[in-house]
Amino acid sequence: MKTGSTNTGAYPSKSKNTMVLSPLDRGFVSNLLVPGKIVNIQWDTDDKSRFCLLATPKWISGAAMAKAVGATEDGADLNGAKRKTALKELHAYLFKTGRKQWKLGFVADPRKAGYTLLHEKWSAPIPIEIDAPGRQGKCVLRVMVFNNGERLAVSETYDIGNLGCPKSLAKEIYEKLGSPTEHSIFYSEMCYLFRTDREDKDIIRLAQRDLTAQAKWIIDAAALCMKISPYEMFYLHHHYPDSVMHCYLAASEGAPDYTVKQKRLAKEAMEMCFEICDKLVSGLLKLANPKTTILLVSDHGDVPNQYSFDIEKRFVETKLLAPNARKKDAYLLGYHGKDALDVVWHYNSGFAWGGTQARKSVEKKTAGANHGPQMPVTFGKTSDNMAFFVLTGPGVKKNIRWSYETKGHVLLKDLVPTICHISGFPTPLHATGCVRREFLA
């Protein structure tokens, strides 16, 4: 069975029968190398501006490069001797050529063809050569002039050679659909302005346009793969809602740390996210047929928190040690095997992990939203930590509304066995869940 996957945040394996599209910088199949930025343009008397388009980064994403410098996360500190893995700085100049029209050139190679820029329009992809462990080949970035020529947006830098698997599919996707944009620099700026109690309607509008275009790219990529390859399974992890909840959920629920303006902006940001997600799901559903089984699930929820808690400091305060003796009870919270200890703790609602500045273990902080430290059944005013689960298709019972209060919880670990059963192939031996036959006809 062949499977197709658009990865925007998860960690699917790359087998020869699996297609992976990866526009996000989350996980070891990431294509993102350098984050984007916004530059304030300083024009000289000749209507010309020189600036650093691509700086030597302190970290670069990607599995091979992270492994090469001994990193265990997406990024790696490349100071000192490890600097050899970084991209070279790229300096460019910008000059006006007409009303709301500019030309972009490169300081290192004036003979290289320039790029025409139009107001609030992303440029054509700009190729960037890279020679680093696991990343030999071409990368691309794009630029946009906005704010009537006063500011320049630089997109994330992507490795287009690793956009899909196999390589031939990556090449065809890029040639027909171009490079994706995940972490919109305008959305990042929108979040920054929100946290500092400011609002820029143009930034919000451009962020919405970028994120809507991202959803369309995913739909178009899925349609293209269905047209050119006989894939039978399509997988997508859309990471955008996660970042929205972390930034805006607490304010949208009326947390006291936020102003009236921030609470309004938070609700508008949440509504924008839901609208874009609706467009994405709707577009993918149009690609389905009566024989298609559809599973829609979240990996977790979010709840607001207002206190940062340092468990190590708490151990010191209470003179409590965690014994590494018998291993029981931890399985009830999902911990098992060699890493399970006798002492398993969780955080109460409103508390989350994190360091504290003071010597005490608990510290008040600006309300945010998080998942993981509290129990799964923790609730906020409009939110909770639990995931949602929607399943439909041939062989699936119709119109079932599952009540966890009377029938118990559906667990994420049950998804793989259930999907395998519906698809007709064996469940992996390491899968610990069970087939949810109560949902199947």
Averaged over 298-311, what is the pLDDT? 83
3-state secondary structure of 331: helix
pLDDT at 367: 81
**Is the pLDDT score of 4 beyond 50?**
no
What is the pTM assigned to this prediction?
0.80
Query: Of residues 6 and 39, which shows the higher confidence score?
Result: 39
The model's confidence at residue 237, banded by pLDDT at 50, 70 and 90, is: confident
Averaged over 212-231, what is the pLDDT? 86
Query: Of residues 351 and 118, which shows the higher confidence score?
Result: 118
Ranked by mean pLDDT, the top range of 88-97, 195-204, 226-235 is: 195-204
Spell out the domain ranges in the chain: 3-279, 305-370, 395-439
The position carrying tokens 């500190």 is: 77
**Is the pLDDT score of 322 beyond 70?**
no
pLDDT at 429: 85
Q: How many CB atoms are closer than 10 A to CB 399?
A: 4
Mean pLDDT score of the chain: 77
Question: How many whole angstroms from its chain centre is CA 122?
Answer: 21
Averaged over 169-177, what is the pLDDT? 84
Strand partners for 118: 101
Please give the structure tokens belonging to residue 213.
């275009």
**Is the pLDDT score of 158 beyond 70?**
yes
Please give the structure tokens belonging to residue 162.
């690793």
Could you give the CA distance from residue 224 to residue 176 in angstroms, rounded to a whole number? 9
Could you give the CA distance from residue 354 to residue 363 in angstroms, rounded to a whole number? 9
C-alpha triplet 101, 182, 174: angle, nearest 5°: 75
**Is the pLDDT score of 180 beyond 80?**
no
